[in-house]
Amino acid sequence: MDRTTRRAALALSATLALAAPLVAASSAQAVSTEASPTAPAAATSPDSVYALVADAARAAQRDVAGNRALAHGPQTPTGSALDAAVDALVADGAVAVTARVENGRHSWSGAAGTRERTGHAPARERDRFRVASNTKPMIATLVLQEVEKGTWTLDTPVEDVLPGVMPAGVTIEQLLSHRSGAATATDWIIASRMTDLNSWDELFAVMGQEVTTADHITALQSAPWVNEPGAAYSYSNAGYVVLGLMLEEVTGRSVENLLERRVFAPAGMRQSDYPDDPGTRGPFLRESAYTGPEGAGWYDLDHFDPSLFAAAGAVTSTTEDLADFTEALVTGRLVDEETTADMLEPRTIGQEGAPEYGLGVYRIPDPCTPGAWLYGHDGASYGTISINLTSPDGARQVSVGITGRDVVYPFFTDEPLYDPSELFEEMLTQTC
């Protein structure tokens, strides 16, 4: 293999692994082929949105500890510092940024960049974007509503609801906490549809193809199993797709309908949607993927078909709606207090490279209060990354969406197109 082909294969194989959100970059499964023999190594990295935001939280803790004003009650968020951090991220290469901070008494929101990579319409604070795996806490909420109703328990085997879909013994709790052992499977779907794993054009073209329920099940059953059920954390989009199928089976309603009736409406999420076809409606931050100087530059993703993610990550939303969701969740408007506490309790503690993950949410250190935590999730589609975090009382929150994703760092390049760490740190500091 010549040097150019090998570089392309390495970068492309790493990109396939990015079908899973960055929180799972260390456990995402890559497809090994003769054209890309180093794919598994390329796809294994400690770098992730989760790692970035956790590091930012620790840095924010140091900032707060050294600032007596911040350590003694809520301050008005400093718009100039937050605006500067948002602007800097766009100046470094992000297409658009929309962000929101709430600290109990005050709030700030801002945006920078353009709605389209090649357009001129400015990004706005209430523009919608693809939230990817920030969908998972919403699906987990629907599942736990069924648990509260007595439809299931957390120990209910998938086999009891969807016979033959997963191995006997895999439970609802294992799916919710990513301990089922199932592969993420999204990358397997993409790779199985490609004839040339060296082709960026084909990779992004495949992302526009519809993925049916049968396709998701085939991928789940064909991709190599990662762990024994219950053994360890291993991020799985397929697990949440299965949870969506289980919800549809027992309720007779679509995931879209369930989200609209039982999550979006009671949480006041008026700008959120669960699309199953390509295209967008209304003001939207359109997705673009950057393949680096060794790749083919930029790809715009207006054709992306959200059926690839389905219940694992198809929701589109805004920073305000994401904040409304987490506030509604932790304050008892979607599930009761006991259920919320169970969702927030980590099932994974001390596993190297893994987040402290509960049932559809993970936790990071609270920069404002030593020993306390913020709870939420991140999301990473092929053109957008997002973060949504809240304090346990719902009073302090950060939510952010960034379009124009660098899909080759850290698998191929040493330096990212841009680094959101400074923005994350500033936002977290100003929740105090």
Tens digit of pLDDT for each residue in 31-54? 333 333 222 222 223 347 888 888
Q: Give the separation between CA 432 and CA 424, rounded to whole angstroms.
A: 14
Q: Could you tell me what percent of the chain has a pLDDT over 90?
A: 74
pLDDT recorded at residue 198: 86
Tally of domains within the chain:
1
405 against 280, higher pLDDT: 405
- Give 125's strand partners: none
Tens digit of pLDDT for each residue in 348-377? 998 988 999 999 999 999 999 989 999 999
pLDDT recorded at residue 202: 95
* Domain assignment of residue 180, yes or no: yes
Structural domain including 246 reads 49-429
CA dihedral 297, 298, 303, 309 (to 10 degrees): 90
Q: Give the separation between CA 288 and CA 169, rounded to whole angstroms.
A: 40
Residue 28, pLDDT above cutoff 70: no
Host H or E run for residue 427: helix 421-429
* Domain assignment of residue 3, yes or no: no
* Domain assignment of residue 18, yes or no: no
Please tell me the number of Cα atoms within 13 Å of 183 on its side-chain side: 20
pLDDT recorded at residue 124: 97
CA dihedral 318, 319, 325, 327 (to 10 degrees): -160
* Domain assignment of residue 67, yes or no: yes
* Domain assignment of residue 10, yes or no: no
* Domain assignment of residue 41, yes or no: no
Amino acid in position 380: A
Helix 213-222 and helix 237-251, axial crossing angle in degrees, nearest 10: 130
pLDDT recorded at residue 275: 96
Six-digit token pair at 78? Answer: 């400093």
CATH code of 305's domain: 3.40.710.10
Tens digit of pLDDT for each residue in 193-249? 999 988 999 999 999 999 999 999 999 999 999 999 998 999 999 999 999 999 999
pLDDT recorded at residue 42: 26
Six-digit token pair at 34? Answer: 């003769």
Torsion angles phi and psi, residue 54, rounded to 5? -65, -40
- Sequence-distant (6+) residues with CB within 8 A of 375 are 326, 330, 344, 358, 361, 362, 363, 389, 390, 391, 392
Residue 143, pLDDT above cutoff 50: yes
pLDDT recorded at residue 15: 45
* Domain assignment of residue 255, yes or no: yes
* Domain assignment of residue 40, yes or no: no
Q: Is 42 helix (H, G, I), strand (E, B) or coil?
A: helix
Please tell me the number of Cα atoms within 13 Å of 265 on its side-chain side: 7
Tens digit of pLDDT for each residue in 392-422? 999 999 999 999 999 988 777 888 999 999 9
Q: Give the separation between CA 285 and CA 117, rounded to whole angstroms.
A: 9
Q: What is the pTM assigned to this prediction? A: 0.90
